[in-house]
Amino acid sequence: MSDLQKQIKDAVIVAMKAGEKPRLAVMRLMTSSMKQIEIDERIELDDARVIAVLDKMVKQRRESISQFKTAGRDDLIKQESFEIDIIQEFLPQALSEEEVDTIVNQAIEQTSASSIKDMGKVMGLVRPQIIGRADMGEVSGRIKTILSTS
């Protein structure tokens, strides 16, 4: 069991003892998502994979929020936002815009990327450094902007 999985498991126990049912429900979703991958792929998750799972959960909720805004469902937006807040407690510290820019620029230099065709190479270097710490969609957009203007 990875350190992050243990941390989540301990938080589940704390939430159960404190009677925090909404928080507990979100953490159980997290543990079940991780367990599902372990069973399906017959592997034990490491911290990097746990972060990827949690990051995917946050991304799904952000997409749901945008759909709920269109439908005017403030009650569901509130629930999804609550879930994002809980999940993000277990993700690494978010990167600042300056830190993301530094990582992106270093990746562009390392790959000698000169056009949008080199996007895959740059993302290959950037992704492991920022997963769970920044919105991949925004980062991808930044890289596209930089590569298309160079």
Do residue 71 and residue 101 come from a single domain? no
- Predicted local distance difference test score (pLDDT) of residue 133: 87
Residue 83 lies in domain? 3-88
Do residue 39 and residue 66 come from a single domain? yes
Do residue 83 and residue 14 come from a single domain? yes
* Mean pLDDT per 10-residue section of the chain, whose length is 150 residues: 93 97 97 96 93 92 95 95 96 90 92 89 91 86 85
Do residue 66 and residue 104 come from a single domain? no
Do residue 74 and residue 113 come from a single domain? no
- Predicted local distance difference test score (pLDDT) of residue 16: 97
Number of domains observed in the structure of the chain? 2
DSSP line for 3-35 = HHHHHHHHHHHHHHHHT-HHHHHHHHHHHHHHH
Do residue 40 and residue 58 come from a single domain? yes
Do residue 74 and residue 7 come from a single domain? yes
Do residue 66 and residue 102 come from a single domain? no
Do residue 67 and residue 20 come from a single domain? yes
Do residue 110 and residue 144 come from a single domain? yes
The CATH number of the domain holding residue 117 is: 1.10.10.410
Q: How far apart are CA 20 and CA 24, in angstroms?
A: 6
- Predicted local distance difference test score (pLDDT) of residue 150: 65
